[in-house]
Structure 1
């Protein structure tokens, strides 16, 4: 009996091992022949070597993660259609905007029966006020989603708010079923419980984008340090190629003022989480934030926003605090509350770990996804 051929379509090589590694392992264990299509993956890179060692076949595709060049996007679609026919794919799953759109269309045009999409968040086009370029971009992406998602057998979402919005905007037609899964999950063995440091410290890990709440974090840090100058506020991340990116000048100003300790991009965030007491993500909207799940698994209290995707991870007052989006005052007050009550930090961290084990264990999430895909 031949193995079913499964193609995973991605836009960013770094996400393959970190976010989809356990899913690929689960698919391989289920007896699939595993392929990935992704742009810009260097054949000699650590990611490529690790994928090859797993037994995953890698295909380079000319897909631009950002940008609106229709000719280049059409080229990527045609390459993907050719690929699904060439490998005789039985299953195709795309995640993030362009892989969902063009992966779904390529699978449909290529005659693949089992076509799936995973909506991991809504991104720049859906957050913030819809004016100018963002308004145009939002309209275009909605049209592309509406057309491509109707070609899928099932669409996965990472929170109920995104699912409801897609239904409300008719981006997902009533005839197409959908399921909500608990994010990408987290390996609770890899992100093991870690003792709290003695000195109060906060941490944010994110691409340095406005809609990740990076500015609000820096502003709240400056306010809190006026009362508690010894408290540390660390920031892990990088300036991304995105219209909403923080400028280098802004970042330099925060560092010079002493409000933020910038750690750059880390290949392993566990030491940074271990050195923190509280994890903070003031994001405007997420799918389900993976960094929050990692911090929860390591036993950290969480302050995040009462926004789609984020609110799923925190029971307000139990494993952390929920604050309104873009509310620097509420954010700083929650930080101060935890600085003044270290015993609450420990109790909330213990509850975070329990929630990670019960709800967000990556093996439970992947098992649910494979079952829905008939594998």
Structure 2
């Protein structure tokens, strides 16, 4: 079969969908990927893994221009008719909406939507015009889909309560999974390095992490509080000057972006993600696979990864004081924290192994 995968960001294919694609290829299926990046920028990378790449013109993953979105929709219809796929798999907001609509217009019946986290626009308790439009778009696109993959019960309940989808179309999955051969369990080398890997945006809890670091360093000044990630064009993006300011004040160590997080995870004592909401945070799954204790928020998606007090701690969203308390607790209870890291690994192996996740996706897609 020919399977078309639609994404709003080409490079994310390598982080989130590579293992799934490998399983599809093993079964003899032909894979075509389409995303907004220009073909010359990514063609060679996809060629290495035997994937045909197509550019989605006019699509901007964070753009709000309705005319450009409409042009992207028409272009997607044309692209899908040209490729003639048997099945379409979409993920990320823009391609979930416009890719699904274009697929239906192009008379494709087997459309599968993989939902990430619902994001701050949908979750905002103060309804806006943008939120109403986005919900309507999701409702229409979900009707066109054969199946919708959802990563956590919080997102599922919100979608059902807002009457956006039919529960019978839903397949629950444990995130995108993590490759336990690629992310190997490693012994903790030190007792003083905290790590956060994320896009540099407010919704990831970056500012709460920095405020917690200030408190921790007042008591334990030798503590290393590391931040890894790239600056983003998201509406909640944090300016470079802000991060560099706190780095200059020796509150955090900003280590820049990376294509391979493993060396940073292996050097860390504990992993922190104070996010406001997620689908299922892949960065946490990778830290669990390496055997690190986790401090994350009691928020949608994040709470799926931690049993509070077992493999780490769940803290209230935006509460940097309690976040600091839990970081200090780990510094003062290193033996117990390392035992939490062991439990992280066991939980990851049982629940988030990418082979189990992909097996469920492929079975749902009848591949």
Q: Helix, strand or coil for the counterpart of 1:334?
A: helix
Q: Equivalent residue for 1:53?
A: 48
**Cα distance in structure 2, aligned partners of 1:354 and 1:230:** 30
Q: Equivalent residue for 1:154?
A: 147
- Map 1:288-303 onto structure 2 (within 5 A): 288-303=280-295
**Cα distance in structure 1, aligned partners of 2:80 and 2:239:** 40
**Cα distance in structure 2, aligned partners of 1:57 and 1:245:** 32
- Map 1:265-344 onto structure 2 (within 5 A): 265-344=257-336
- Map 1:58-207 onto structure 2 (within 5 A): 58-62=53-57, 63-128=59-124, 130=126, 135-173=128-166, 177-207=169-199
Q: Is the 8 A contact 2:10 2:37 kept in 1?
A: yes
Structure 1 residue 128, shift from structure 2 partner: 4.9
**Cα distance in structure 1, aligned partners of 2:129 and 2:24:** 38
**Cα distance in structure 1, aligned partners of 2:261 and 2:115:** 24
Asked if 1:238 is matched to 2:230, the reply is yes
**Cα distance in structure 2, aligned partners of 1:42 and 1:282:** 36
TM value normalised by structure 1? 0.95
Q: Equivalent residue for 2:342?
A: 350
Task: Give me the CA root mean square deviation.
Answer: 1.3
Q: Is the 8 A contact 2:191 2:334 kept in 1?
A: no
Q: Equivalent residue for 1:364?
A: 356
**Cα distance in structure 2, aligned partners of 1:50 and 1:243:** 29
Q: What number of residue pairs does the alignment pair up?
A: 366
Q: Is the 8 A contact 1:127 1:211 kept in 2?
A: no
Which stretch shifts more, 52-61 or 184-193? Answer: 52-61
Q: Is the 8 A contact 1:81 1:107 kept in 2?
A: yes
4+ residue segments displaced more than 4 Å: none
TM value normalised by structure 2? 0.97
**Cα distance in structure 1, aligned partners of 2:124 and 2:211:** 19
**Cα distance in structure 2, aligned partners of 1:43 and 1:282:** 37
Q: Helix, strand or coil for the counterpart of 2:247?
A: helix
Structure 1 residue 180, shift from structure 2 partner: 1.0
Structure 1 residue 129, shift from structure 2 partner: 5.4
5+ long unaligned stretches in structure 2: none
**Cα distance in structure 2, aligned partners of 1:129 and 1:255:** 34
